[in-house]
Structure 1
Amino acid sequence: MRAIRGLVFDKDGTLFDFRATWSVWTRRLLLELTAGEEARAAGIGRAIGYDLATGDFAPDSYVIAHTPSEIADAMMPHLPGTDRAALVARMSSLATETDLVAATDLPPLFATLKGAGLSIGLATNDFVVPARAHLEQAGVTRYFDFVSGFDSGYGAKPEPGPLLAFAASAGLDPAEVAMVGDSVHDLVAGRAAGMQTVGVLTGIAGPDELAPHADVVLPHIGHLPDWVARAGAAAAAG
C-alpha cells in the first residue's frame, strides 16, 4: 500500500447523508412532476427505485449513483409530453435548492485533511454547478483543488475518467490517491483508476456490498484522518 497523497470524494452519500438529503429532493421532484398526484408520483418513484410512502431507496435505485440524464431517461416513459431537456434542467435547479445534511462536521475535517498536505478532489455524477453550490453551502469549497460533475467532460462513474483527471491535475500517481465513496459505482471506478478505495456507510449500500470493492469500509468520512495516518505508517514500514 502506498502512502496517501490525495483523496477524491464522491458527493451524495459520502459528504452528505444520502437518505436525509436526497429523499426530500426525490419526493419534491415527483410530486412537482405529477402536480401532486401521489398515486402517479409513487408509480414514477418505483421506476427509479424510490418508495414515496417510506421515503427510502432500493439498493439499485437510479438516484443513488446514476447521472441526472439517466434518472430522467428512466422517468420519461411515465411522463408523456415532457421535454427531456427541461426535465434535466429542473432536476439540476432543484438539486441546487436542496437542504444538505452533512455526514459529519465537514469544515474541521477538511481543514485537517488539507493541513496534512493532501490534494482533495470531488468526482460526482451530479451536475457540476449544484456540486459547487453544495460545497459552498457546506463551507468547504476552499479545500477542494478539483471538482468534476458528469457534465465536466471526463465521463461518469463507474468509468475512471473523472478520477484520473483529478490525479493528473494534482500531479499524483493514481496509486497515491484514495477514492472515497458510498456506492459500488464509486469503488469500481476507483479500482479501475488504480487507486486505493474507501467505502463509507452514509449511503444506501451496506458493508457486505462495499467490502469486496474496498480496501477499508468506514462508518463515515470523519474516520479518514486516522486511516490516512495508518496507511502512511504502513507504507513507511513496508
Structure 2
Amino acid sequence: MKNLSKSVFLSVAVASALAASAVAEQNGVFLGAEVGYGGASVEDRSNYDERPMTQAPRSTPTLKYNGGGVKYGIIAGYKQFFTPYLGLRYYASLSAMHASLSTSQIEGEWKNVSATMINYGANVDFLGNFIAQENLDFGGFVGLGIGGTSWLGKNINDYQKLVDGYGYGWKLSKNSFDVALNVGLRANIAKNHGVEIVARVPFLPTKLIDKSRTEPYNVGADTYLATATRKDSLHHPYSITARYTFSF
C-alpha cells in the first residue's frame, strides 16, 4: 500500500511537470524589429562675452530645444524561463532615430536642428507573465540597457565648422556612453510570435562640447577679457515603440 501511494505521488508529480512544460513559454533564440517615436532635446549654453577685467562675468544663458522623430531598430538575443511565469532575456539592440528640433527663440546657434541618432547596446530584461497558456502568454518586462549613442547629420557637421572658427582646436564629442531603462508589455502568441509595447528611458545626454577660453587684451590703459563659452548637449529622453519578435 505504501509503495502504491508513492507510485501515485510520483505519477502526479510527473504529470504536473509535463503539464507545466506544455503551457510554458519556450526558451530559445529570438529576433525582433521595432518602430515608433523618440524624443530629442538640445541644451545650448554658448556665449561670447567681452568685459573690463574689473567687471564680474555675465552668466551664460541656457536655451533648450525640444523635438523628436521616427525611431526604428532591431534586436537579437536569448530568453529563458525558470517557471511558466518568470524568466529573463538577454539581447543586443541597434536602433536609429531621425530627430527634428526647433525653437521660437531667436538667440543661440541652434535655430532648427535635424540629426540622426544611432544607439547600440546590450540589454537584460526580467520577464513576468500574468497569463501562461499553451498558445498565449501575456505579461510585462523591466530591464536595463548599457551601450553607446552617436549623433550624425549635416547640422552636427555645420556646428563643428562654427566651433572651428574660434581657432582653438575644439572638437565635438559626437559619441557617448548610454544607460537606459526598458519597460513594457508583451504577448507571446502561438509559441513563436511576440508583440510588445516598449518604453525606453535613457539617462545620459551626449555632451557635444564643454569648453571655455578667456583671453585678455588692452584698450589704452584698461584691460579687457574676451571669454568664449561652448557648452552644448544632445539628449534622447525617451522612446515608445511597437515591437515584433520571432522565437526559434
Shorter chain as denominator, the TM-score bin is: under 0.3
Task: Give the TM-score normalised by the residue count of structure 1.
Answer: 0.25
Q: Which has the higher contact order (CA 8 A, sep 6+)?
A: 1
> Rg larger in 1 or in 2?
2
Task: Give the TM-score normalised by the residue count of structure 2.
Answer: 0.24
Higher helix share: 1
